[in-house]
Amino acid sequence: MINDNVYSADQFKTMDSTCGIDGSVLMKNAASNLYGVLEAKNKLKSNILIMCGKGNNGGDGYALAILLLNNGFSTTVCALEEPSSPLAAKFFTKYKAWGGTLINYNDINIDDYGVIVDCMFGFSFKGELKGIYADAVKSINESEAYVLACDLPSGLIADCDNLPKLAVKANATCTFTAYKTAQVSYPAREFCGEVYITDIGIQEDILGSHTPLCYTNGNAYFDKLPQRKENSHKGCYGPLSALCGNKDMSGAAILACSGALRTGTGLVRLYSHENTLNTIKTVLPEVIAQKVISNEQILSDTPKAILVGCGCGRTYDKIIKELLLCSMVPMIIDADGINCISDSIELCKSVKCPLILTPHPKEMSRLCGKTVEEINGNRINTAIEFSKEHGVITVLKGSSTVVASPDGKYYVNLSGNSGLAKGGSGDVLAGIIASLAAQGTAPFYAAVIGVYIHGKAAEVLAERKGVYAMLPSELAEEAGKILYFR
């Protein structure tokens, strides 16, 4: 049984010990999966070096070496320490009995090998690599070999997305049963390469008895969307009010409103500068566009959600802060809306409405006072801590966007691609999230589903146009199609 959710190291340990499957069988299954990845990557005929630690991860390596020998492929094993695990010792002894080649680390010429399988440490590793292990990892990272990590690149800590001082940088990772945190969130995720989730025999009921730390597939939340009815009208799906755009920033407002309309909002009212109004009436005639006057004006139209910030500059800071304190419906705050409240972040604790903030790392830096480097080095905890402290839903954008709620619940998104790295993508996302919230989707799920379909839309576009050519203005329609054909 496998799934694409994230579990803790302690949960994996419990699964292994309670599944009722003999440890040697689990080890053979792990080895078979490692073999399968090598076969799929056409690496079996390469000169293979397996680096084994003293624990069960090393045992997986010895079991792989035996499997390679049984199938007529040559391999060399480097035992960095004598096995301390009875299971590892069993396969170590069997490998020697088969006449397998063992080599001391000091006798290795790393450049002799086209493939290195990292079986030094698995999900239970904590701390830092030292001694011979640190030397081995440095050698692996300096080599030109294809590196396959068993379960988790050695040096990474399963439950953390930040980087230790030293870790194996793998081309691929063959992990077992489900994801570890380090495999889904940057910067640790980058060290895992391609991640293959493989089945070692953990039964469905054992896996199902554990609550995931988080989910990574946003379509798991589609049942949280309100059902559309044939006998309905525009007021059933909104309305949404948006304070977006300014004199020279009409594009952001257009993209945000397009994101909202294409994902189902029945009515969008845009409040903005007259320059923006003139443009949007031509590009998106479905939008009701009005010159912004006051927060009372916006609230008097009884919106079901409010979006502020996309391209609005700092002209409307006073109105945005007043809306924060007066609104009773979900508010989605993006871009210049985030810049507006960054110097008054304590306001978030005084609001009566759900807040969804959608910062990129630089905007997050302004909100929480950490550097961009600190944020990107620990994305999940940064989002969770900020959400808990200020009582908001945080959508920390970037590759593997993190959505965190005040109760500590979080989601890591794996959809999307580098084609989203273009100005305007975030405006479309803000519009999508606001649309789902206006239609009655609970704010956390509106954010999660919005992030997911935004990324999936990018994947669809990349298939047709490539990541270089796709445009943010094309995302909204594809996101709407994903909702319809889900």
Domain ranges of the chain: 5-215, 218-484
Continuous segment of H or E residues that includes residue 147: strand 146-150
**For residue 188, is pLDDT > 90?**
yes
pLDDT at 186 over 90: yes
Q: Which residue has the tokens 């489900």?
A: 178
User: What mean pLDDT comes out for the span 189-208?
Assistant: 97
Indicate the pLDDT class of residue 293, thresholds 50, 70 and 90. confident
Q: pTM surpassing 0.75?
A: yes
pLDDT exceeds 90 at position 33: yes
Q: Look at residues 392, 428, 440 and name the one whose alpha carbon lies nearest to residue 239.
A: 440
pLDDT tens profile 102-146: 999 999 999 999 999 999 999 999 999 999 999 999 999 999 999
What type of residue sits at position 79? Answer: A
Q: Helix, strand, coil % (nearest 5) of the chain?
A: 45, 15, 40
Contact predicate 339/366, CB 8 Å? yes
Task: Dig out the tokens for 166 from the structure.
Answer: 């030293």
* Cβ burial, residue 34 (10 Å; 0-12/13-18/19+): buried
Average confidence score pLDDT of the chain: 96
Amino acid at 446: A
Going by their DSSP bridges, the two strands 214-215 and 194-198 should be labelled as: unpaired
> Is 218-484 a CATH 3.50.50.60 domain?
no
Position 275 pLDDT exceeds 90? no
Predicted confidence band at 81 (pLDDT cuts at 50, 70, 90)? very high
Contact 334/428 with Cβ under 8 angstroms?
Answer: no
pLDDT tens digits along 204-251: 999 999 999 999 989 889 999 999 999 999 999 999 999 999 988 999
Dist. CA 482–CA 457, nearest whole Å:
7
- Residue 355 burial by CB count (10 A; 0-12/13-18/19+): exposed, middle or buried? buried
Mean pLDDT of the region 323-352: 95
Helix, strand, or coil (residue 198): strand
The amino acid at 281: K
Q: How many residues does the chain have?
A: 486
Structure confidence at residue 248 (pLDDT): 87
**3-state SS class at 153:** coil
Long-range CB contacts (within 8 A, 24+) of 368-371: none
Contact of 451 with 469, CB cutoff 8 Å: no
Helix 361-368 with 379-390: angle, nearest 10 deg: 40
What is the pLDDT averaged over residues 337-347? 95
Q: Is 52 helix (H, G, I), strand (E, B) or coil?
A: strand
Q: Assess whether pLDDT exceeds 90 at residue 289.
A: yes
Write the class of the CATH domain 5-215: alpha beta
Q: Retrieve residue 288's tokens.
A: 């009701």
Three-point CA angle 44, 414, 222, nearest 5°: 125
